[in-house]
Amino acid sequence: MFFVKPFLPGNEVLPLYMSFEYQFPDPSTAEPDGLLAVGGDLSVSSILTAYSQGIFPWFNENSPILWWSPDPRLVLFPEKFKLSSSLKQRLQSGSYTIKIDHDFEQVIRQCAAVKREGQDGTWITDDMIKAYTTLFHEGYVHSFETWHHDELVGGLYGLSLGKAFFGESMFYTMRDASKIAFHALIEWARKNEFLFIDAQQSTSHLKSLGAQEISRNDFLNLLKSALKSETIKGNWGSIAFGKELK
């Protein structure tokens, strides 16, 4: 197991938002459950380095920073997305407006507030919110949002590098609102020739939408191909479609 803990002179621990250079271990050395490393920080450089190597942070409020690289890995290839007839009807109803990168902070805070079965508390801690908000302003993190009139009723957020999108979390307060946001992500991914959407860990919900498990090795090879393309940075709501999706 890889442990790292940065210190300032006098053994003062660095704040999580301060940058520090770390080298992550080979993902193949991860534990059977996918746990790869402990420690480090949540600086922009640390997080981008991790994702570029197929690694992501996931930890609870009272634990150290944990870094994961599970095997197998759940991914969704945009062309394999399953659009159910019920979701198609909702999309055609005209009751919702899709916005991209319009209110990222509300999306991540709504995701953090969602109570999930089998989980006590949230892994989207204040430090994670700060880190991913910084990445949003740097143009690497994006939100897909479902709005009903003037109310945010569902959405998701994730990080993008090259032609890969790493999904982090989603929420809804109205039926199928997160699926509608996910459909918008799929349309964006298709339009911009993304190779895959990383769902990280297996869930029956995402499998029902067409996600499938692949080996860690296959995932890392796929990621290597995705990273050959330039990252589309900035506010996707402004540069992607030219207007809000409806």
Read off the pLDDT of residues 163-178 as tens digits, 9 standing for 90 and up.
999 999 999 999 999 9
pLDDT at 243 over 50: no
Q: What is residue 16's DSSP assignment?
A: T
Residues in the chain: 246
Q: What is the average pLDDT value for the chain, to the nearest integer?
A: 87
Cα–Cα distance measured from residue 47 to residue 53, given in angstroms and rounded to the nearest whole number: 10
Q: What is the reported pTM?
A: 0.87
What is the domain partition of the chain in residue ranges?
Answer: 2-71, 74-239
Q: What is the mean pLDDT of residues 85-96?
A: 85
Of 176, 196, 174, 200, the C-alpha closest to 186 is 196
At 188 the pLDDT is: 96
Lowest mean pLDDT of 79-93, 152-166, 183-197, name the range. 79-93
Fold of 2-71: Alpha-Beta Plaits (3.30.70)
CA dihedral 109, 89, 207, 187 (to 10 degrees): -70
Q: What is residue 133's DSSP assignment?
A: H
Fold of 74-239: Aminopeptidase (3.40.630)
Cα–Cα distance measured from residue 241 to residue 16, given in angstroms and rounded to the nearest whole number: 35
246: confidence class by pLDDT, cuts 50, 70, 90 = very low
Sign of CA dihedral 167, 157, 42, 124: negative
Of 206, 211, 216, the C-alpha closest to 156 is 206
Beta strands per DSSP E along 102-163:
141-148, 151-161
Read off the pLDDT of residues 113-122 as tens digits, 9 standing for 90 and up.
986 555 555 6
At 120 the pLDDT is: 54
